C-alpha cells in the first residue's frame, strides 16, 4: 500500500478509482471529462491523496482549502473542505480508508488547518453522515448535512449562499450546467445533455458555466444541473432518463 499527495498532471490523469473498479459503472462514460477537469484544476480548486495497491490507484480523498473550495458557502479561511472519498469495494475491510484519512489529517495538521468541513448524505453508499460521525465530525446547526471536525479550532464560521438560478426565456426548455465536471457522475450527465440538446435543436437551450468564484457570485451555486430553473440529477442518471426528462419538459411547455 502506498499513499501520496497528488502533485503533477500524470498523477491527476489517474484520478477517480471510483469509476475504474470492476464492474465498470455506466456513468464512467464521464471519466475522461472529469480527469481533464481534475488535471486543469489540481492545485487550484482541488487537491488530492491517492492510495495505490500493486501500482493501481484503488482509493482517493479529494479536497480543497476553504479559500478555493467549490462549495455554496462563505467559509472563513484556514479550513479544509473534503469533497469526496472512496476505496474500491474489492479493497475494503483492510483499513485502507482509515490509513488514507489519517494521512490526509496529518497533512492538514502539519499545514496548520483549523479543521475539516464535509457535506454528507443520507445515501449509505456514498459520503453517509454516519461514517463521519464515527471519526468525530459534528453537525453544524442551520446547515443541513454539513459537518465539521476540529483540528486546532473548535468551531468554524460557515454561511450558506442563496441560490439565484432563474429562467432566461431563451427557449421552451433551458438547461443550465454549473460546473458538474468534478465527478464522473455529473460529467456523464453533461455528455448526455449535450447530445440531447443537439437532437432537440432550438427547442432546448444548453448553457454551460465553469465552476468558480464568478459562478458562485452570480448563481449562489458551486455545482449543479438546472432545467427551467429547477435542480435536477442529484445522482447517477442514464442517457434515456435525460432524454425522457427533456421530452417531458417540452411537452409541458407545449413545444413537443
pLDDT at 254: 79
pLDDT at 123: 77
Task: Find the mean pLDDT for residues 150-179.
Answer: 94
Span 95-131, pLDDT tens digits: 999 999 999 999 999 999 999 999 999 877 788 899 9
> Which strands form 80-87's sheet, in the order they lie side by side?
2-5, 47-53, 56-65, 80-87, 115-119, 146-150, 138-139
Coil, helix or strand at residue 28: helix
pLDDT at 256: 60
Coil, helix or strand at residue 102: helix
Span 211-238, pLDDT tens digits: 999 999 999 999 999 999 999 998 899 9
Coil, helix or strand at residue 178: strand
Distance (Å, whole) CA 185 – CA 190: 9
Span 186-198, pLDDT tens digits: 999 999 999 999 9
Distance (Å, whole) CA 49 – CA 51: 7
At 47, list the grid cell.
487537491
Span 5-54, pLDDT tens digits: 999 999 999 999 999 998 999 899 999 999 999 999 999 999 999 999 99
Residues 6+ apart with CB under 8 A from 85: 59, 60, 61, 62, 97, 100, 101, 127
75, β-bridge pairs:
158
Q: What are the chain's domains?
A: 2-160 (3.40.630.30), 173-252 (3.40.30.10)
Sign of CA dihedral 215, 210, 232, 79: negative
Grid look-up 453537525 returns 139
Amino acid at each position: 500500500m502506498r499513499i501520496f499527495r497528488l502533485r503533477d498532471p500524470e498523477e491527476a490523469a489517474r484520478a477517480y478509482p471510483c469509476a475504474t473498479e470492476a464492474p465498470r459503472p455506466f456513468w464512467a462514460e464521464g471519466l475522461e471529462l472529469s480527469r481533464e477537469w481534475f488535471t486543469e484544476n489540481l492545485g487550484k480548486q482541488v487537491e488530492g491523496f491517492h492510495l495505490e495497491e500493486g501500482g493501481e490507484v484503488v482509493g482517493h480523498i479529494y479536497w480543497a482549502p476553504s479559500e478555493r473550495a467549490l462549495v455554496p458557502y462563505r467559509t472563513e479561511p484556514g479550513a479544509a473542505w473534503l469533497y469526496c472519498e472512496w476505496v474500491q469495494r474489492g479493497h475494503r475491510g483492510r483499513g485502507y480508508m482509515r490509513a488514507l484519512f489519517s494521512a490526509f489529517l496529518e497533512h492538514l495538521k502539519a499545514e496548520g488547518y483549523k479543521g475539516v468541513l464535509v457535506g454528507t448524505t443520507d445515501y449509505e453508499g456514498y459520503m453517509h453522515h454516519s461514517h463521519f460521525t464515527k471519526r468525530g465530525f459534528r453537525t453544524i446547526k442551520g446547515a443541513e448535512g454539513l459537518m465539521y471536525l476540529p483540528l486546532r479550532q473548535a468551531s468554524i464560521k460557515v454561511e450558506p449562499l442563496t441560490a439565484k438560478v432563474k429562467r432566461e426565456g431563451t427557449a421552451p426548455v433551458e438547461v443550465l450546467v454549473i460546473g458538474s465536471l468534478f465527478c464522473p457522475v455529473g460529467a456523464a450527465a453533461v455528455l448526455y445533455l449535450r447530445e440531447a440538446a443537439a437532437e432537440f435543436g432550438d427547442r432546448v437551450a444548453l448553457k454551460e458555466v465553469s465552476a468558480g468564484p464568478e459562478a458562485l457570485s452570480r448563481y449562489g451555486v458551486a455545482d449543479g444541473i438546472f432545467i427551467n430553473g429547477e435542480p435536477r440529477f442529484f445522482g447517477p442518471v442514464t442517457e434515456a432518463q435525460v432524454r425522457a426528462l427533456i421530452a417531458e419538459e417540452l411537452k409541458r411547455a407545449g413545444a413537443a
